Amino acid sequence: MSTQNNPSMSTQRFPRAELRSMIDAPLTTQAIYVAAKLGIADLLKDGPLGTEELASAVNVNSRNLYRVLRTLASVGIFSETKDNLFELTPHAEYLRSDVPGSLRSWALLAGQDWFVRSLGQLLHSVKTSQTAFDSVYNMGLFEYFGQNVEAGELFDQALTGLTQGAAEAVLDAYDFSGIDTIVDVGGGQGALIVSTLKKYPKMRGILFDLSSVIERAKVSLAKEVILERCELVGGDFFHQVPSGGDAYILKSVTHNWDDDRALTILRNCRQAMSENGKLLLVDNVVPSGNEPSPQKVNDLLMMVFTTGINRTQPEYETLLGSSSFKMSKIIPTQTWLSVIEGSPN
């Protein structure tokens, strides 16, 4: 059977067609951003709607909106039923703003001008030791967030959505029983520690992050009863972290920093904990070999936006050993993340 006029079969069977699809992937990202920005998934949560009705609700051109949604439906995000009616799919559900683990904010982040411009300078990072973001904006990412509050808030929201999606998997994979007080270092808006304290009602917690982040967390967590058992503390983990924890958990923190600064954070955790304490890094562990890996793709974001790196198991062993920890075990979860457990050495 000829595949000359069958694009889907060509994509599956021919390397050139597969490569073309990879090259065109940023267009899909932008289409997802448009749908997220317009809130299309929220509009469809009660059932299918036509393009004209959707376009009228968000005040856009109906024909062009149809073209965007048709593209997304072709990759499983939304489904076109009949007569230009679109409905949610399991993938599209996570573009809703009201579901746990929503990726809407992450999709919005991926469409921001500062995000897209920085990705366009990946070659600069490859040629030099400077992050692409720094070369475009002449400052570091977190300094930028300090000066651009809306960007910082969106970043917090995006990471909260990622953490909500990962929290259940982490709690399923790792047994936190026996921990009286847990310190969430760089815990952002508190999604992970709140989930942990809810599952372990006798545990107490400390949420620790920059003072500006903690102020936003106080607002977002104001209605959480769990705050009776959780102290919110602002500070800088490059200087010190709160003492008194039985376990120190760092989700997606060390991969944001080069080895020297990651070591500073871990050494401060080591200084704050007792000899019987635990270090829990919830992070990407890059697999070896040529197998496809989201951890490898995500590592390019580290190159573009921070001085960090997604590390392999041997690299984590070296990092922990250099900060007076020894690696106990690595526990994979049902997400990209693993729990890397360390103990004082």
Exposed e or buried b per residue across 256-276, where buried means at least 16 C-beta atoms within 10 angstroms of its C-beta: bbebebbbebbebbbebbeee
- Could you tell me if 121 and 114 are in contact, meaning their C-beta atoms sit under 8 angstroms apart? no
Whether the pLDDT of residue 5 is over 70: the answer is no
Nearest partner of 159 among 211, 206, 220, judged by Cα: 220
**Angle formed by the axes of helices 25-38 and 62-73, to 10°?**
120
Least confident interval from 18-22, 53-57, 81-85, 125-129: 81-85
List residues with catalytic annotation. 255
Q: Scanning the structure block, which residue is given the tokens 């967590």? A: 221
If one compares 336 and 72, the residue with the highest pLDDT of the two is 72
pLDDT of residue 91: 97
pLDDT of residue 57: 97
Whether the pLDDT of residue 4 is over 50: the answer is no
- Summary mean pLDDT of the chain: 92
pLDDT of residue 243: 96
pLDDT of residue 1: 38
pLDDT of residue 2: 40
- pLDDT band at 10; cut points 50, 70, 90: very low
How many other C-beta atoms lie within 10 A of the C-beta of residue 134?
22
Here the tokens at position 315 are: 């690299």
Nearest partner of 120 among 138, 105, 107, 133, judged by Cα: 133
pLDDT of residue 220: 83
pLDDT of residue 32: 98
How many other C-beta atoms lie within 10 A of the C-beta of residue 21?
14
325, containing H or E segment: strand 325-332
Q: Scanning the structure block, which residue is given the tokens 């009705």? A: 53
86, containing H or E segment: strand 85-87
pTM of the model: 0.84
Sequential DSSP letters for 177-191: TT-SEEEEET-TTSH
Q: Scanning the structure block, which residue is given the tokens 């579901």? A: 99
Sequential DSSP letters for 199-257: H-TT-EEEEEE-HHHHHHHHHHTTT-GGGGGEEEEE--TTT---S--SEEEEES-GGGS
pLDDT of residue 131: 95
Q: Which long-range contacts (CB under 8 A, 24 or more apart) does 45-50 make?
A: 45/88, 45/96, 45/98, 47/87, 48/81, 48/85, 48/86, 48/87, 49/85, 49/86, 50/83, 50/84, 50/85, 50/86
Q: What is the pLDDT of residues 127-184, one digit of tens each?
A: 998 999 999 999 999 899 989 999 999 998 998 888 888 999 999 999 999 999 999 9
Whether the pLDDT of residue 87 is over 80: the answer is yes
How many other C-beta atoms lie within 10 A of the C-beta of residue 316?
21
318, containing H or E segment: helix 313-322
Whether the pLDDT of residue 84 is over 90: the answer is no
Q: What is the pLDDT of residues 282-338, one digit of tens each?
A: 999 999 889 889 999 999 999 999 989 999 999 999 999 999 999 999 999 999 899
pLDDT of residue 6: 53
Q: What is the pLDDT of residues 89-137, one digit of tens each?
A: 999 999 999 998 899 999 999 999 999 999 999 999 999 989 999 999 9
User: Which residues lie closer than 8 Å to 342 by C-beta, 6 or more apart?
Assistant: 278, 279, 280, 281, 320, 325, 326, 327, 328
- Could you tell me if 257 and 238 are in contact, meaning their C-beta atoms sit under 8 angstroms apart? no
- Could you tell me if 323 and 263 are in contact, meaning their C-beta atoms sit under 8 angstroms apart? yes
- Same topology, domains 7-97 and 114-344? Answer is no
- What's the CATH architecture for 7-97? Orthogonal Bundle (1.10)
Cα dihedral 263, 268, 269, 272, rounded to 10, equals: 160
User: Which residues lie closer than 8 Å to 88 by C-beta, 6 or more apart?
Assistant: 41, 44, 45, 78, 79, 96
Nearest partner of 199 among 246, 245, 167, judged by Cα: 167
- pLDDT band at 83; cut points 50, 70, 90: confident
pLDDT of residue 340: 98
13, containing H or E segment: helix 7-13
Strand partners for 206: 183, 231
- pLDDT band at 12; cut points 50, 70, 90: low
Indicate the domain borders of the chain.
7-97, 114-344
Specify the CATH number for 114-344; select among 3.40.50.720, 3.40.50.2000, 3.40.50.300, 3.40.50.150. Answer: 3.40.50.150
How far apart CA 248 and CA 277 sit, in angstroms, is 8
pLDDT of residue 165: 86
